Amino acid sequence: MKFTRLGNSGLTISQLCLGCMTYGDKSAGWHGDWLLDEDESRPFFRQALEAGINFFDTANGYAGGTSEEITGKLLKEMAYRDEIVVATKAFIPWRRAPNTGGLSRKSLMQAIDDSLMRLGMDYVDLFQIHRWDDETPIEETMEALHDIVKSGKARYIGASSMYAWQFAKAQETARANGWTRFISMQNQLNLLYREEEREMIPLCADQGVGLIPWSPLARGRLARPLGETTVRSETDGVGKRLYKEGDEADAAIINALGQLAEARGDKMASLGLAWHYTKGVAAPIIGASKPHHIDDAVAALDIELSDEEITKLEAPYRPKMPSGLAMPLAPLDQVSVKEKGG
């Protein structure tokens, strides 16, 4: 395994992060039939740790919080807490009621406590805002995050998909007030979606913010030949919104990746991940539901793409409308009423 520092911080992370959205209770989440329960998840945590991965990412909204429960339980079984880096996120509402989501002080303070309870941990290493909250002043959000760090419940803070101007505003708000700044940006980046190269990636490079992109293989589309499907690809509504079927440029990129994989004798997934390191990425966040997924990801660390190979992979790309930046809060229901004794 290869390691790096996350942004300008002193935090050491493996150059692969295991994304834990795949692991959770099927009955509790919104992901569908591709979720793996605790027993099904256990081999993947073991395999990741044995491969040298020390970085694990989850969120309070994954599988109704059960992703955090599984992640915390299995890491406690298998790893020393001081050696691993655990990241989680807040923003997604946990109920359809006032104050149960978003980035207000009240919501963030509740979210971190709930996440720590589910993880069975005293702190998380990286506490991230899952999306931008138009309803809350950024000053309120950044001060609350600063207080969470100062309380010891999080060591560092990070952000996820938003516009570059929003990220710059948040960072400047923190700087101007002497509050904790973000050390990482978890944005959407892959060979099929490169819009972040326009502003966000240059901004992060200039400011020393580490890149830990989600969906580095376009939800599996860059890991298999065009036309092949999986249970997840058939049931993943989010993926279908992000990557449109029949896009000619996407098809050309997938075919080019497949041709390069055949010529080099490498896996498509390994090459698709290796491309990220040419963009200054610290650690792409990989999903794993089959043993070879982690093997293919680890193999990417030893691949060096030539300028000619990069050009062939990138040439078919056509600009897209920004996607994955907004995650609207659900309409509110009436205030929940506890059952007697609940």
Catalytic residues, by residue number, are: 62
* Contacts of residue 23, Cβ cutoff 8 Å, sequence gap at least 6: 35, 36, 37, 38, 40, 41, 44, 63, 67, 70, 71
User: Which residue type occupies 169?
Assistant: K
Diameter of the chain measured on Cα atoms: 67
User: Which residue type occupies 59?
Assistant: A
Q: How far is CA 154 from the centre of its chain?
A: 17
Q: Are strands 12-14 and 3-5 parallel, antiparallel or unpaired?
A: antiparallel
Cβ-contact 243, 219 below 8 angstroms: yes
The Cα–Cα gap between 162 and 140 comes to: 17
The Cα–Cα gap between 35 and 13 comes to: 26
Cβ-contact 49, 298 below 8 angstroms: no
Which tokens belong to 61?
Answer: 């909204």
Could you write out the DSSP letters of every residue in 179-195? PPPEEEEE-B-BTTB-G
Cβ-contact 179, 142 below 8 angstroms: yes
- Helices then strands (H, E): number in the chain? 12, 10
- Which contiguous run of DSSP H or E holds residue 85? strand 85-90
State the CB neighbour count (10 A cutoff) for residue 211. Answer: 23
